């Protein structure tokens, strides 16, 4: 998450669907939540996150050798799971950074002849803040929660869609660089997409989901009242998946992650999902944001619970998620 300078004192205090994978079930309302039989692997979640937040990557600061290793890792993941490059390669070079830096962008074409012209964007930022300048026992800001956890979730969603082919709309999977430098990766990408007349339906950006909240809902959404996305996600999962977090509104987190670049450019529902609630994690932008403090069962169940929602977003015959007036 882009650095929240004013929060640091507070923070340190505190096509055809695969019938075996997707079915529809009726609920009390007229909507039909998706029931997904595909199971997210806890071992795969753990292994992916462990490498992305390892010391070998030296905190993944944009423009460093560490983030280059992360880029190669993510490219190989896309290749292995048959996610095609959106551009000529998976690497989308940032136009606003002094040294070579790349978003990693893959695409899975939709299975419906008409709906495939519309895009859902699933995204997270894979950069972090790198090494501490001052000498101390641990100098690596591994960024396990921020935002290797979100990247892990998007990667597992990409694998799910690749296996099940349950997306009628096309899906753009994006791992942003330069988020910690001021949302540079997303700002650079949207300029290119706008020139292509990119037909965006909605964006779900995932930020810091490595530890659970002690609330009666799974996660919160930034800009809760800007669209009907929260209500639709709950409708699609048949659960209280998304709730309203007052701190999110107070600190205006909607404007502090890569969803905002897309919202500015397209004026469509573009929001971030998170479980970092200012009470459950004290290592924001800290060297102790490491794999060992992540809750892997929680992350696995988070991804599993979101599969019906992202599936429904990718298959509804009309655009059900809309901006509030």
Q: What is the dihedral of CA 167, 310, 179, 269, to 10 degrees?
A: 100
- pLDDT computed for residue 25 by the predictor: 43
- pLDDT computed for residue 241 by the predictor: 98
Task: Let me know: does 284 contact 143? Beta carbons within 8 Å.
Answer: no
Of residues 27 and 46, more confidence is placed in 46
- pLDDT computed for residue 35 by the predictor: 86
- Lowest mean pLDDT: which of 3-7, 128-132, 152-156? 3-7
Alpha helices in the chain (DSSP H): 8-11, 42-52, 65-80, 149-164, 184-195, 229-237, 246-251, 259-266, 296-315
- Judge whether residue 15 has pLDDT over 80: no
pLDDT digits (tens, 9 = 90+) for 130-145: 999 999 999 999 999 9
- pLDDT computed for residue 23 by the predictor: 55
Distance CA 203, CA 264 (A): 12
- The domain ranges of the chain are 5-315
Residue 244 Cα distances to 87, 113, 217, 274, angstroms: 37, 36, 9, 11
Task: Let me know: does 208 contact 276? Beta carbons within 8 Å.
Answer: yes
Task: Let me know: does 70 contact 77? Beta carbons within 8 Å.
Answer: no
- pLDDT computed for residue 142 by the predictor: 98
Q: How confident is the model at residue 34 (pLDDT cuts 50, 70, 90)?
A: confident
Distance CA 279, CA 213 (A): 8
Domain 5-315 has CATH 3.40.630.10: yes
Which of these, 196, 174, 200, 197, lies nearest to 186 by C-alpha position?
174
Mean pLDDT of 110-123: 98
- Judge whether residue 17 has pLDDT over 70: no
Distance CA 259, CA 280 (A): 23
Distance CA 9, CA 23 (A): 47
Mean pLDDT of 51-76: 98
Q: Compute and round to an integer the Cα radius of gyration of the chain.
A: 18
Q: Within 10 Å of residue 26's Cβ, how many Cβ atoms?
A: 9
pLDDT digits (tens, 9 = 90+) for 251-262: 999 999 999 999
Q: How confident is the model at residue 32 (pLDDT cuts 50, 70, 90)?
A: confident
């Amino acid at each position: 998450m882009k650095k929240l300078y004013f929060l640091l004192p507070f923070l340190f205090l505190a096509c055809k669907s695969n019938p075996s994978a997707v079915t529809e079930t009726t609920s009390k309302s007229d909507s039909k939540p998706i029931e997904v039989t595909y199971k997210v692997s806890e071992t795969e979640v753990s292994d992916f996150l462990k490498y992305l937040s390892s010391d070998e990557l030296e905190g993944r600061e944009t423009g460093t050798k560490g983030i280059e290793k992360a880029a190669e890792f993510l490219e190989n993941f896309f290749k292995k799971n048959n996610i095609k490059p959106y551009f000529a390669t998976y690497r989308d070079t940032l136009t606003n950074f002094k040294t070579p830096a790349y978003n990693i962008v893959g695409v899975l074409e939709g299975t419906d002849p008409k709906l495939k012209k519309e895009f859902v964007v699933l995204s997270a930022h894979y950069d972090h803040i790198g090494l501490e300048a001052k000498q101390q026992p641990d100098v690596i800001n591994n960024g396990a929660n921020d935002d290797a956890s979100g990247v892990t979730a998007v990667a597992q969603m990409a694998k799910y869609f690749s296996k099940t082919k349950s997306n009628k709309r096309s899906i753009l999977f994006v791992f942003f660089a330069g988020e910690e430098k001021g949302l540079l990766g997303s700002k650079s990408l949207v300029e290119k997409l706008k020139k292509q007349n990119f037909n965006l339906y909605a964006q779900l950006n995932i930020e810091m989901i490595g530890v659970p909240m002690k609330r009666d809902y799974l996660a919160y959404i930034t800009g809760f009242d800007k669209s009907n996305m929260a209500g639709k996600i709950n409708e699609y999962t048949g659960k209280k998946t998304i709730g309203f977090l007052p701190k999110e509104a107070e600190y205006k987190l909607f404007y502090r992650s890569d969803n905002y670049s897309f919202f500015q450019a397209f004026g469509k529902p573009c929001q971030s999902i998170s479980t970092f609630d200012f009470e459950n994690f004290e290592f924001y932008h800290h060297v102790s944001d490491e794999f060992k403090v992540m809750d892997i069962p929680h992350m696995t169940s988070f991804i599993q619970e979101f599969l019906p929602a992202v599936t429904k977003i990718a298959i509804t015959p009309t655009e059900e998620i809309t901006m509030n007036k």
